[in-house]
Amino acid sequence: MTTALVLIVSFGFIMAGAELFTNAIEWVGKRFGLPEGAVGSLLAAVATALPETMVPIIAIVFGEGSSGHEIGTGAILGAPFMLGTLAFCITGIAVLVFSRSGKRAPKVTINKKVMLRDLSFFLKVYALAILAAFIPSHSMKVVVAIGLFALYGWYAYKTITDDDEADEEEELHPLFLAKKKAEPATSMILLQVAIAMAAIVYGANLFVGGIEVVAEHFGISAFILSVLITPVATELPEKFNSVTWIRRGKDTLALGNITGAMVFQSSVIPAIGILLTPWELSGAALINGLMALIMPAIVYCLVRFSGKLNPRVLISSGLVYLVFVIMVLSGFKI
């Protein structure tokens, strides 16, 4: 099997598994009586982030030496970068396109409380994860990792208890393994979770192997290849859910789908990276991490001080991603 075919097949397994997992985990939340807002902001966000979680773990644990660590680190740092640039950009474009076609209003409706909480958490915790690379003692880095897990736990608690946050919810789709059942059995829900996990782990393992081969063949840094390709391949398709919600005028869900994932990607995933690697970031990694903070910081300030969010600001987020790509392709020494 050629490398290109391996990457395509692995991508198929990852996406199919993510679709199954997202569907099942939402039913898990409903079955155990979690508030609908928590299901959307927590379980759905974690579900869509599962591929990005498994890729770095597989790369670090089963990858070949330093190459595996580079791919893992790239996948960890690339996801927040993609969310704060490309995902924001696509959402802004969707607002303009659908408003000009008369399918929605041109104004972005935001839940200020949710946006400020999510973005504030992301900015602080992701900055902490990056700064952890400068700590000389790995044991102290482990303390930071534990702190990151704890902070996400606090965020989850706040999301579950603040019921007033979720004023928009998408109706649950039928369970894939029991489409004709209005209320599927718990055993079927858990079986679908298991099948989804198996598909994602298998696909992630294939994907990591393909990335290693491509990097070696073309002499490209495994980190650069991973930071640009992995999050776009594994997470960006899921974020097109936001486009659907934008078309329906459900802006809180559309933006929450992105910011909720950013919260998870800035805390739990870097914590895993800190625990499983030396967590020594290269110049490229540091620049990528710092650039990931730019647009979320701008959006946070706009929402806090004006209470409004212009779709053109979201579109401009794509420029940050473009700048990084140009830096890489031009051979800029980072």
CB atoms within 10 A of CB 54: 24
pLDDT score for 333 = 52
pLDDT score for 166 = 46
Number of H-type helices and E-type strands within the chain: 15, 0
Across 168-231, the runs of DSSP E, i.e. the strands, are none
Where is average pLDDT lowest: 186-200, 245-259, 260-274? 245-259
Across all residues in the chain, what is the average pLDDT? 81
- pLDDT-derived band at 291 (thresholds 50, 70, 90) equals very high
Q: pLDDT (tens digit, 9 = 90+) per residue, 157-179? A: 887 777 554 444 556 789 999 98
- Of 39, 11, 10, which Cα lies nearest the Cα of 173? 39
Percent of the chain topping pLDDT 70: 81
Residue 63 has pLDDT above 80, yes or no: no
Highest average pLDDT, of 23-32, 79-88, 203-212, comes from 79-88
Q: For residue 6, give both structure tokens.
A: 């391996």
pLDDT score for 212 = 65
Residue 263 has pLDDT above 60, yes or no: yes
Q: Is the Cβ–Cβ distance between 24 and 196 less than 8 Å? A: yes
Domain boundaries, the chain: 3-304+322-329
Cα–chain-centroid distance for residue 269?
10
Three state DSSP letters for 224-270: HHHHHHHHHHHCHHHHCHHHHHHHCCCHHHHHHHHHHHHHHHHHHHH
Q: For residue 244, give both structure tokens.
A: 């659907």
Residue 298 has pLDDT above 90, yes or no: yes
CA–CA dist 87, 150 (Å, integer): 27
Write the CB contacts of 79 (distance below 8 Å, at least 6 apart in sequence): 49, 52, 230, 231, 235, 261, 265, 269
Where is average pLDDT lowest: 84-93, 214-223, 254-263? 214-223
- Of 85, 80, 93, 96, which Cα lies nearest the Cα of 317? 85
Write the CB contacts of 176 (distance below 8 Å, at least 6 apart in sequence): 19, 20, 23, 24, 192
CB atoms within 10 A of CB 217: 9
pLDDT score for 276 = 87
Query: CA gyration radius for the chain?
Result: 19
Cα–chain-centroid distance for residue 22?
13
Where is average pLDDT lowest: 103-107, 158-162, 210-214, 304-308? 210-214
The owner of tokens 């995902």 is 87
Residue 259 has pLDDT above 70, yes or no: yes
Fill in the amino acid letter for 256: G
Residue 48 has pLDDT above 70, yes or no: no
Measured CA to CA in angstroms, residue 330 lies from 140, 210, 325, 326, 333 at distances of 37, 24, 8, 6, 9
